[in-house]
Chains A and B, each alone.
Chain A
């Protein structure tokens, strides 16, 4: 999956990845895809909840080794 913007939150613990996601996505335009990189397993749950509450769409979560890649579509 491709993305328009990448947000590197490696090394940060929840809820920081979703807080930074919330800030970053405000700078994007509707239809763009944000890739969030995290290594905190809590992001898998938090990103689902955040997307449900914020109205953006969580397209996919991919795990590669210890890195968790969250693809979020800005609505």
Chain B
């Protein structure tokens, strides 16, 4: 079995979630909106899942809107707020390192005439809350800053930003896809008004996500039609997936404290080991404010795609920077924003740990990874010329 270190892309479905989903494919097939008894079990199952997801983030069940993905939840949050606040203003504040599911809807609104302030980040990928405060004007109707970045693992000062947003009366949305079910996430402590996330980040099924919408926050729906999800998201509910999300959410809540600590230790072991053993390697993102399961690097004189293919041949599954940007033969906007030049950023790699990752797995990576990097660096003519071999090279982090 390969060592799977791409949990930020997808997590394996929990057996308990799969088992709970099964009846809703056949015997409990009813429409949750039906008034007759065939709809009773699916309707009750959705409400159980809603309660579970609400508990996972410290919300009221009435504040949970199920969607098909975190991307849909983020779109619903952004476009829903803007369409319901048209009379109030047309200014948005966001950062330059947002996931495409936030950046693209905002760009679309920018094309439609909205003014957007794209905030910079520091070398670790953190937004300065003072920049948010300075950007707010009377036209501002939305602030959207991700809770954490999935390429470099950096966690943002969300509480501070939320305080600024709340004091100004501006709705605050966070893309929480990388954090819900992974790190402690109490919606009221954080103070955000809207948060999008998905089940697949915490061992639930694909094709289901949720938007947290603080009570009293007005949004217009993206999908008009029926009364599902309080009229905020029309369309017959994906009952099996929602049920699976609820079960996975419950398990995530129960395991979170233990897993947070365990994964943080494994991550630190991996980071310190690779920095010690690999020549010309940079830790990307913040060392302290970092997701517990993300170890991200940029390795000089190595192509990230070549590196993940070579690791795969050695039984280690990892991801090369941002896969979307890689397909475009383009450097990740996140790595560009935190100051990495193209020749270093092209060697970006992200390893994301999960519930089945063991200390032995990390030790294997620490044994294999340096050899793989070394073999790739040796075929780089620039590296050979610069270093005269590995002896002159150095390990770096920042």
- Residues facing A in B97-142 (CB within 8 A) are 100, 103-104, 107-108, 111
**Listed residue (A13, A22, A39, A49) with the most chain B CB atoms within 10 angstroms of its CB:** A13
Tell me the total A-B contact number using a CB cutoff of 8 A: 31
Set A13, A15, A40: member contacting B330, Cβ < 8 A: A15
Helix, strand, loop or mixed for chain B's interface?
helix
Contact partners of B330 in chain A: CB under 8 A? 15, 18, 46, 49-50
**A18-44 at interface with B (beta carbon < 8 Å):** 18-19, 22, 39-40
Which chain A residues numbered 28 to 70 have a C-beta less than 8 Å away from chain B? 39-40, 46, 49-50, 53-54
- B297-335 CB mask vs A (1 if < 8 Å, else 0) is 000000000000000000000000000110111100000
Q: Are B108 and A13 in contact (CB under 8 A)?
A: yes
Residues of A within 8 A of B103 (CB): 13
- Is there an interface contact between A22 and B104, defined as CB atoms closer than 8 Å? no
Asked if A19 contacts B324 (CB within 8 A), the reply is yes
Q: Are B107 and A22 in contact (CB under 8 A)?
A: no
Does the CB pair B328–A46 fall under 8 Å? yes
B328 A50 Cβ-Cβ under 8 A? yes
Number of interface residues of A (CB under 8 A): 13
Max chain A Cβ within 10 angstroms of own Cβ: one of B100, B104, B327: B327
Bound complex: CA A31 to CA B100 (Å): 34
CB distance from A34 to the nearest CB of B (A): 15
The answer to whether B328 and A14 touch across the interface, beta carbons within 8 angstroms, is yes
Closest to B329 in A: A53
The answer to whether B329 touches A49, judged by C-beta atoms less than 8 angstroms apart, is yes
Docked pose: A19 CA to B328 CA in angstroms: 5
Decide: A15 and B108 in contact? CB cutoff 8 A: no
Chain B: which residue is nearest A51 at the CB level?
B329
Name the A residues within 8 Å of B329 (CB-CB): 18, 22, 49-50, 53-54
Write out the residue numbers on chain A whose beta carbons fall within 8 Å of the beta carbon of B104.
Answer: 13
Q: Are B325 and A15 in contact (CB under 8 A)?
A: yes
Q: How far is the CB of B106 from chain A (nearest CB, A)?
A: 10
Contact: A22 with B328, CB < 8 Å? yes
Closest to A15 in B: B328
How many Å lie between the Cα of A63 and that of B103 in the bound state?
24
Contacts of B328 in A (CB 8 A): 14-15, 18-19, 22, 46, 50
Once bound together, how far apart are the Cα atoms of A70 and B98, in whole Å? 27
Residues of B within 8 A of A19 (CB): 324, 327-328
Contacts of B324 in A (CB 8 A): 15, 19
Nearest opposing residue in chain A for B331, CB measure: A49
Q: What's the nearest-Cβ distance from chain B to residue A24, in Å?
A: 12
Min CB gap B337→A, angstroms: 15
Shortest A52–chain B CB gap in Å is 9
The distance in angstroms between the C-alpha atoms of A40 and B103, with both chains bound, is 13
Neighbouring B residues of A14 by C-beta, 8 Å: 328
Show 30 A/B contacts (Cβ-Cβ < 8 Å), sorted by A: A13-B100, A13-B103, A13-B104, A13-B107, A13-B108, A14-B328, A15-B324, A15-B325, A15-B327, A15-B328, A15-B330, A18-B329, A18-B330, A19-B324, A19-B327, A19-B328, A22-B327, A22-B328, A22-B329, A39-B111, A40-B107, A46-B328, A46-B330, A49-B329, A49-B330, A50-B328, A50-B329, A50-B330, A53-B329, A54-B329
The 3 closest A-B pairs by CB, nearest first: A15-B328, A53-B329, A18-B328
Q: Which residues of A contact B (CB under 8 A)?
A: 13-15, 18-19, 22, 39-40, 46, 49-50, 53-54
- Can you add 13 more A-B contacts, CB < 8 Å, to A13-B100, A18-B329, A19-B327? A13-B103, A13-B104, A14-B328, A15-B324, A15-B325, A15-B327, A18-B330, A22-B329, A39-B111, A49-B330, A50-B328, A50-B329, A54-B329
